[in-house]
Structure 1
Amino acid sequence: MAIKISLEELLEAGAHFGHQAKRWNPKMASYLYGIQEGVHVFDLTKTKVAMEEALDVLKNAAKEGKNILILGTKKQCKEKIIEIGKETGMPYVSERWLGGTLTNFDQMKRSISKLSEMKTKMAAGEYKKYTKKERLLLEREITRLERFFGGISTLEKLPDMLFVVDTHKETQAVKEALKMKIETIGIVDSNSDPTVVDYPIPMNDDAAKALEYVLDLVKKAILEGQSKKK
């Protein structure tokens, strides 16, 4: 059963507002309804169709036990990205994307291993023999590593899929996924290139309410898929 998407709620959340018309990407033309006060407006019926397809893909991927990396570093969606990651068990990135996360995955795994090792030693009290200043430096390093790698600490191999909030902002991540042949789903605003992802979701990528609405549906799709996993 398809996840229900409300055109009214998308409209109320401001999902239909794009960027200033002068900043648009012509490749987005087919998803746009027109221009209002110098701002592009999305055709929400097309947004709904694209969203339904993307959610269906996410649900099936979760049902098949695939690993979906959830990426969103904008302040409007950070907390929701963490929430999705923790509630679904999927890997996530809510801080700055580190170049090479996908294309230099072996190095990433070394950093993740370092974090795990340091946390284990800290919990076991192995750092008590160090001076107060040295312990403080170690704690800061753990905090730094946790900030950047905590959300992907469960990744044993490259993810099967990448979900991206704002493909324009996360260009590096999208390029890495393309290079590594990782399937992609992305929220694309009127200034974005929808052809760089496999499943574009055309909508406002700045409005907190709009992002919260779609990300709640993303979480629902993954959880529904996981509940039907064989």
Structure 2
Amino acid sequence: MTSSISETKKLVQQMVSAGVHLGYRRRNPKMTPYVYIKKDGLQIIDLFQTYCALKKASSYLYDISRRGKRILFVGTRKYISKYIEQIADECNSWYINKRWLGGLLTNWNTLNDLKFKMQKIEIGKNQTKKEKARIEQQKKRLRKYLNGIRSMYKQPDFVIIIGQKREMKAVKECIKLKIPTLTILDTNGNPDLTDIFIPANDNSLQSITFILNDLSKAIKKGQEHKETL
């Protein structure tokens, strides 16, 4: 019991160091139960609730990964783009880290056509420099937006969203298709638009990194245990 309490305190201290508790100045009234206090104009998130939500989310991700479910990470803000790619690759998951193209999931046939086009576009010997430049630009654009889902052979079973306000197109498509989602939800977010959420600072790379590292470990652990079932 003493060890468990000590580990919990250590984790909470790490969350404070990562700025997980620092919310926005504005607050969605639906996030009020997850705010500990308002200080210096900022909403201070209740880290005990963050801790509980993180443990619950990690347990859930372990379970679905153990059952072979596939996960898609979505986070397109420039300063987290590289990290989204890294964390998704580490846990054998798909990702969108540049831009969510409208209809990405709801218009499945169009997505498959674009991926096929990305793989098959070739430059002919007899094409002019202008035509070659146009084709190269087209290939570059497709790779930029679709590289993280080039191996996605079916719709994801679960989507992890970082930055609800920015990724509203992804949120709406998941709701329409009834694909469950997990969202790192700041104080200005809407908990009604996600199935699972972790109340936390979604505007800091350090905070996002801290949470996704924990989630990634759960996914990898589930994938490892899948082999022994």
TM-score (normalizing by structure 1): 0.90
Same amino acid, percent of matched pairs: 35
**Residues of 2 paired with 1:143 and 1:224: CA distance?**
35
Query: How well do the aligned residues superpose, as a CA RMSD in angstroms?
Result: 1.7
Q: Which residue of 1 aligns with 2:94?
A: 91
1:228 aligns with 2:225: yes
Could you say which residue in structure 2 is the equivalent of 1:147? 144
> Given the alignment, which residue of 52, 55, 59 partners 2:58?
55
Gaps of 5+ in 2: 1-6
1:224 & 1:127 partners in 2: Cα distance?
46
Look up the match of 1:173.
170
1:15 to 17, 20, 25: 20
Pairwise CA distance, 1:218: 2.1
Q: Is the 8 A contact 1:188 1:204 kept in 2?
A: yes
- Deviation of residue 162 (structure 1)? 0.5
| TM-aligned CA deviation for residue 88 of structure 1 | 2.4
Write the deviation string for residues 147-175 of structure 1: whole angstroms up to 9, x where unpaired. Answer: 11111111111110000001122111111
Structure 1, unmatched stretches of 5+, are: none
Deviation at 1:85, TM superposition (A): 2.3
- Structure 2 match to 1:134: 131
- Where do 4+ consecutive residues of structure 1 move more than 4 Å? none
3-state SS of 1:80 partner: helix
**Given the superposition, is the C-alpha separation of residues 129 and 88 from structure 1 closer, same or farther in structure 2, using an over 3 Å criterion?**
farther
2:79 to 64, 73, 76: 76
Aligned residue number for residue 107 of structure 1: 110
The answer (yes or no) to whether the contact 1:128–1:135 under 8 Å persists in 2 is: no
1:192 to 186, 189, 193: 189
